[in-house]
Structure 1
C-alpha cells in the first residue's frame, strides 16, 4: 500500500530521477550531437547515474514506503559517487594528480609506433570541453554532489517530521 508522501519527500523522489536523467541526456547530446567522445573516466561517471535512474524508478514505484525511501537514498548515494568520480577526473584534467596511465600516458616508451597504435583514442587528462574553466567532469561533480546532498536533506526532513 502506497502512503501519502509529503512535499519534501516528493521533491527528493523526483530529483533522484531528474538529476541523473538530465545529466545522462546531456552527455549523450554532447557525445552524439557535438562529437565529444567520452574517455574511460567519463564512462565511469555514467555508470552510477544509470544505477541511480533504476533506483529512483523503483523508489517512485514504491513511494511512501520504507523501501521507496531506501531506494531513493541509494539513488542519492549513486549520484554522489558519480560526483566523486567527476571530482577525481577533473583533478586529472587540471593536472592536480595523475589519473590511470592507460588513458593519460604521455610517454611513448621504447617502441613509439607500438605505443601510438596501443594508445587510447580519448585522453582522460585533457578536457573535451570547458565553460568558465570548468570541464564536464567538474560540472558533474558540482551538480551531482550538491543534488545528492539535497535529496538526502529532503528525505531527512520527512523522517524528522519537518516540512509537513
Structure 2
C-alpha cells in the first residue's frame, strides 16, 4: 500500500508541475501510465484475495516507470537518441505531407514539448531522473511486500554442515 501511495504521490506531483506550467513531453506521459497501474494494484490489494499477482504487477509497474525514467534521462543528457517525434527538431520529415512541411501549415511544432530538453531540475537531476530514482525505491517496496507474503511458503534448505 505504501508503494502504491508513493506512485500516487509521484503522479500527483507530475500533475502539480503541469498546473504550474511545465507541460509534459511524450516520454513524461509514458512514465505516468505505470504509476496509474501501480495505484490500481494498491486499490486491488484492499479487495483481492490473490495478493501475489497484484504485488508482482505493482513491482513490474514501478520497475517499468523507473526504466522509462532512466531512458528519458539518457535522452535528456544525450547518452542515446530518443524518439524522433519529440527530440531534435521534433519533426519526422519523412512522415510528413507536403502541406505539413509548409511553414504556415502547423502551429503544433511550436507547442511541442521536447523530450531531450530539461524543463526543470533539482540538485542537477531532471524530473525524469527523480522519477527513475524514486520509482526504483517504490519497486523495492513492492519486492519487500512480495518477500513478506512468500516468507514461510518456501521450503527450508537443510544445513548439512
Choose the corresponding residue for 2:103, options 94, 99, 113: 113
1:84 aligned partner: 67
When the two chains are superposed, the root-mean-square deviation of aligned CA atoms in Å is 2.4
Choose the corresponding residue for 1:94, options 57, 74, 77: 77
Hey, what's the Cα distance between the residues in 2 that align with 1:43 and 1:114?
Answer: 28
2:51 aligned partner: 68
Hey, what's the Cα distance between the residues in 2 that align with 1:93 and 1:141?
Answer: 13
1:129 aligned partner: 120
Which structure is higher in helix share? 1
Choose the corresponding residue for 1:53, options 39, 43, 62: 39
Q: Does 1:139 align with 2:130?
A: yes
Contact 2:55 2:145 in 1 (8 A): no
Q: Displacement of 1:105 after TM fit?
A: 2.2
Larger Rg computed on CA atoms? 2
Q: Which stretch shifts more, 72-81 or 135-144?
A: 72-81
2:157 aligned partner: none
Choose the corresponding residue for 2:22, options 36, 41, 46: 36
Contact 1:59 1:70 in 2 (8 A): no
- Structure 1 length-normalised TM: 0.78
2:86 aligned partner: 103
Runs of 4+ in 1 over 3 A off after TM superposition: 106-109, 114-118
The unaligned stretches of length 5 or more in structure 1 are 1-13
2:98 aligned partner: none
Choose the corresponding residue for 2:141, options 124, 127, 150: 150
Q: Displacement of 1:146 after TM fit?
A: 2.0
